[in-house]
Amino acid sequence: MKIYQLYLGLLKKYGKPARFWRKWCKRKKNTQEREEIVLGAILTQRTNWKNVELALKNLRRAKALSIEGVYRIGKKNLKLLETLIKPSGFYKQKTKRLFQFSKFIIENHCSLERFLEQDLEICREQLLELSGIGPETADSILLYAGDKPVFVIDEYTRRFVKKHNLSDKFSYHYLQDLFEKSLPKDVKIYQDFHAMIVLDGKGTSWDLVTKI
């Protein structure tokens, strides 16, 4: 109950998501929005959102802001893909991860939509088999792009747990289980709560938030 009460307290404090979080927490997303979230979830590893936005803008200008677009460019010229996403940092690693992900989706499922039609457990298992996709990135993709009920655990969540003395254990699986058992199994609650935990951890507002 304490975790749910904390969720209600953050909801009262911050209200509805804004800026890029509005898209990520949106219930009815189109294909383009879902794919952009996936690309963003991979690009945001170890960087801030302003840098990710620059990389996404480059992909948009190159007409590659989609899984098919990344796959098409990467198949022909990985160096070009590296140049496009360079603002996000660690661009050589991220280029490989983006291309590997897009290749997996296109060659095995034809589309992100088809991939996400699978059960949560199957999707998660397949994502975790991809190099560079750990639990946090996989669950961000599934929660925000796939609207699947899985709670994301990141450093902000762990700080939130410590701040409110919710647990003395901090492993990914333990905390994920703790949050999921303490909350209604509702995608909207999972999305909004995680977004507000990040916001609260940064001590900012929706209008000023620059990193997920």
CB 25 within 8 A of CB 209: no
159 part of a folded domain: yes
211 part of a folded domain: no
CB 78 within 8 A of CB 99: yes
Residues 6+ apart with CB under 8 A from 166: 2, 3, 160, 178
Statement to judge: residues 103 and 44 lie in one domain:
yes
134 part of a folded domain: yes
Statement to judge: residues 80 and 181 lie in one domain:
no
Domain containing 89: what range? 29-145
207 part of a folded domain: no
Statement to judge: residues 42 and 136 lie in one domain:
yes
Statement to judge: residues 131 and 34 lie in one domain:
yes
52 alpha carbon, distance to own chain's centre: 12
Instruction: Choose one of 145, 163, 192: the last residue of a domain.
Output: 145
Statement to judge: residues 63 and 98 lie in one domain:
yes
What is the per-residue pLDDT for 212?
43
Place of tokens 């991979």: 42
DSSP letters spanning 153-188: --HHHHHHHHHTT--S---HHHHHHHHHHHS-S-HH
Q: Name the nearest CA neighbour of 21 among 164, 173, 152.
A: 152
Statement to judge: residues 89 and 166 lie in one domain:
no
Number of domains in the chain: 2
pTM of the model: 0.94
Instruction: Choose one of 118, 145, 172: the last residue of a domain.
Output: 145
What is the per-residue pLDDT for 168?
96
166 part of a folded domain: yes
Alpha-carbon distance of 140 to 147, in angstroms, equals 10
Statement to judge: residues 75 and 131 lie in one domain:
yes
What is the per-residue pLDDT for 99?
98
Statement to judge: residues 98 and 19 lie in one domain:
no
Burial class (CB in 10 A: 0-12, 13-18, 19+), 74: buried
What is the per-residue pLDDT for 206?
67
43 part of a folded domain: yes
The CATH number linked to 75 is 1.10.340.30
Statement to judge: residues 124 and 158 lie in one domain:
no
Statement to judge: residues 84 and 178 lie in one domain:
no
208 part of a folded domain: no
Instruction: Choose one of 127, 145, 163: the last residue of a domain.
Output: 145
Alpha-carbon distance of 22 to 12, in angstroms, equals 17
Alpha-carbon distance of 10 to 99, in angstroms, equals 37
Statement to judge: residues 106 and 37 lie in one domain:
yes
Statement to judge: residues 141 and 168 lie in one domain:
no
174 part of a folded domain: yes
User: Can you state the angle between helices 49-61 and 31-43, rounded to 10 degrees?
Assistant: 130
Q: What does the pLDDT profile of the chain (212 residues) look like in tens digits?
A: 899 999 999 999 998 887 778 889 998 999 999 999 999 999 999 999 899 999 999 999 999 999 999 999 999 999 999 999 999 999 999 999 999 999 999 999 999 999 999 999 999 999 999 999 999 999 999 999 999 999 999 999 999 999 999 999 999 999 999 999 999 999 999 999 999 999 999 877 665 544 44
